[in-house]
Amino acid sequence: MKCRLPLLLLSTLLLTFAPLSTLSIDLDKYVEPDIPDYGDEDIDEDERFLVKTSVCYGDLGCFSIKGKYFNLLHRPVVVVPQSPEVIGTKFLLFTRRNPASPAELHYKNAKSVLRSRFSNRRPTKLVIHGFLGKGVMGWMNRIRQAMLKRVDCNLIQVRFAAVSLTRGEDNGFQGKYVMVFNQWKLYSAALPASQVGWAGGSVTLYNQATSNTRVVGAVVARMLRWLHSRFGVDLDNVHVIGFSLGGHIAGYVGRRLRERGTPLGRITGLDPAGPYFEGTDPVVRLDPTDAKFVDAIHTDGALWRVGLPLLNGGFGIQSPVGHVDFFVNGGRHQPGCSSLGACDHSRAPQLYIDTLKTAKSKAFSAFPCDNYDKFMAGDCGSHCPSGGCPVMGLDAEKYKARFTGSRLPHRYYLLTGPCTPYSVVHYHRRLKQAKQEAAAEIEAFKLEREREFKAHEARILGSRTDSEKLVQEETRQRLSELSGSVRQNKEQAIRRLLTLLFDVQPRLHENFSRGKM
φ/ψ of residue 189, rounded to 5: -80, -30
Regarding beta strands 293-298 and 443-445, do their DSSP bridges make them parallel or antiparallel, or are they unpaired? Answer: unpaired
Closest by CA position to 277, among listed 256, 307, 241, 304: 304
Note if 244 is an active site residue. yes
- Nearest 10 degrees: Cα torsion 255, 261, 265, 268: 0
- Distance CA(505)–CA(501), nearest Å, equals 8
Distances (CA, A) of 80 to 39, 132, 209: 14, 20, 10
Catalytic pick from 211, 244, 319, 513?
244
Nearest-angstrom CA–CA distance, 353 and 376: 25
CB 392 within 8 A of CB 401: no
Is the Cβ–Cβ distance between 90 and 160 less than 8 Å?
yes
User: E strands along 323-395, which residues?
Assistant: 324-328, 367-368
Q: How many whole angstroms separate alpha carbon 403 and alpha carbon 266? A: 13
CA distance 92 to 439: 52
Q: How many CB atoms lie within 10 A of CB 340?
A: 7
Catalytic position from the list 54, 116, 271, 298: 271
Active-site entry in 239, 298, 345, 428: 345
**Does residue 135 come out as left (phi exceeding 0), alpha (psi in the -120 to 50 range) or beta?**
alpha
Active centre residues (catalytic): 244, 271, 345
